Amino acid sequence: MTDQALPDLETRAELAKLAALLYLPEERLTGLRGSGAANIRRLRRRILETAFEDRRERFRRLERLTRLLPQGMLARLAQSAFGPLLSGRLVGEMNAIRAFKIAKRLPPGFLADTAMHVDPDKVRPIIQRLPAELIRDAALILVERKDYITLGRFADALSAPAIRAVVAAVDDDAVLLHIAFYMEEKSQLSRILRMIDNDRVARIMRAGTEQNLWPEALSVIDNVDDDLRGRLANIMAEQDEATLNGLVGVAHAQNLWGPVLRGMARMNPKYHRKIVNLPAVRDETVLGDLVNTAYREGLLEAALPLARPMRREWQRVVAHAALAQGPEVAEAAMWAAHNADQWDVAIDLFEYTDDAERNMIARLPIAANKHVLESLIATAARTGRLGLLLDFVERMETGGQRSAAQVSLANDGDLLESILDAARDTGGWAAVAVALSSVEADDLGQAGEVYRRQSADDQAAFQAAARDRGVWDQLAPALEGAAA
């Protein structure tokens, strides 16, 4: 399987956790890559439930027998007789307060050994009560073993003092990124990060950029609240060009454009120019991958404004890359421009299209939507780009031309005046004539009033273009009738 086929970040984390549970190398689970994170998580949890239900009644009877023993003796028996596996099964059947009183007597090494054998849901109330120093020391042992998956299973269950103690004790910021990547409940990431001082958070995120841990860093950004997402994305954007070029390469190779785009949507816009003009971005294959990801993940509205601060030569590349994805993606991009009120950006990109691309755009179903055309034509008029729009109108099918003409005739034909001005400057008379010819003759009265206000030279130019397209005889009664 190629790098481009790598699954999303959450699926990768779930595959690693399932592999650890089954004591299998991750390569044995490649067939599950297309299953999605939610399905793999359900499978993993079902396996855990089945495992912990196995012989549960026997463990419950044994737990009832242990109630006869003092807590100190049970702590000693756990280490000398029961061992981590049996102790892990027993603790899940105990009353949380009693289990806590026993667990706090156990050494950190034994707790670390037991952690992989306990039912996470059962022991969370116990973990929350344990002393921060004990949790810290057990966590450091698991860090030394690089058992980040086990650490991630319980990270969200830790008390605030325990979280601060672990973070303070772990010198390697990359370790904290690994733990966050494997957290069981990533919805708790925001709560945890807010317990860590800003300087340390910045160090943790920089570790992702400096140690080529982009997937882990992007996973953190993708799973926090919007305000934190913006802050973390800003930290990443402050890195040097070489580092950010590395991000582009990783995002392209590892299917990570979704987290990148969601991060940039919350990033301070002052960083957008720096990122979208990176040398690594100026590649049609890279940009095509980005556009496809934005389409698949519903992020086109977030991606489109990023073209605004691009250098013109970059905009040319992104225009071709986007349209090379085909009509379905082009249609979705047009709707994104409409829904996000970003027609000015879309028009900038239209300028770089070739004949084949313009023909494709002009024949999209959205090009015949009157409400869309109202917004598009109004933006083109406001930005002085009606001449470019006339080129598209001429390429439209009849339904689109009719809608464009109807829009131009609204509000006493004020917009038609601007369109005729653009036709004079660009020679686009034919587009106006053909579009007006698609409207019912009874609806052309306003067009006649506007036409008759034009100079003799402009009327002659319009008439010549209309004759050339074979529509003058159809238009003449409405346009010249009152004058005659």
Contacts with 118 (C-beta within 8 Å, 6 or more apart), sequence order = 88, 89, 91, 92
Is pLDDT at 315 greater than 70 in this prediction?
Answer: yes
Confidence of residue 484 (pLDDT cuts 50, 70, 90): very low
The count of structural domains within the chain is: 1
The pLDDT of 109-127, averaged and rounded, is 90
Whole-number pLDDT of residue 413: 78
User: Is 119 within 8 Å of 148 (Cβ atoms)?
Assistant: no
- Is position 291 within any domain? no
- Is position 476 within any domain? yes
Is pLDDT at 322 greater than 50 in this prediction?
Answer: yes
Structure confidence by residue, pLDDT tens digits, 236-249? 999 999 999 999 99
- Is position 154 within any domain? no
Whole-number pLDDT of residue 292: 92
Averaged confidence pLDDT in the chain? 91
Q: Which of 26-30, 66-70, 278-282, 352-356 has the lowest mean pLDDT?
A: 66-70
Is pLDDT at 409 greater than 50 in this prediction?
Answer: yes
Q: Which of 47-61, 94-108, 267-281 has the lowest mean pLDDT?
A: 47-61
The pLDDT of 48-55, averaged and rounded, is 86
Is pLDDT at 1 greater than 80 in this prediction?
Answer: no
The pLDDT of 68-87, averaged and rounded, is 91
Whole-number pLDDT of residue 5: 62
- Is position 418 within any domain? yes
- Is position 234 within any domain? no
Please state, for a pLDDT cut of 70, what percent of the chain lies above it.
Answer: 98
- Is position 178 within any domain? no
Whole-number pLDDT of residue 68: 86
The pLDDT of 357-384, averaged and rounded, is 94
Structure confidence by residue, pLDDT tens digits, 416-475? 989 999 999 999 999 999 999 999 888 888 889 899 999 999 999 999 999 999 999 999
- Is position 400 within any domain? yes
Is pLDDT at 120 greater than 90 in this prediction?
Answer: no
Within 10 angstroms of residue 207's Cβ, the number of other Cβ atoms is 19
Q: Which residues of 229-246 are buried (b: 16+ CB within 10 A; e: fewer)?
A: bbbbbbbbbbbeeeebeb
- Is position 453 within any domain? yes
The pLDDT of 176-192, averaged and rounded, is 92
Tell me which residue range forms the domain holding 460: 369-484
Structure confidence by residue, pLDDT tens digits, 249-262? 999 999 899 999 99
The pLDDT of 22-35, averaged and rounded, is 92
Which residue has tokens 């067009």? 447
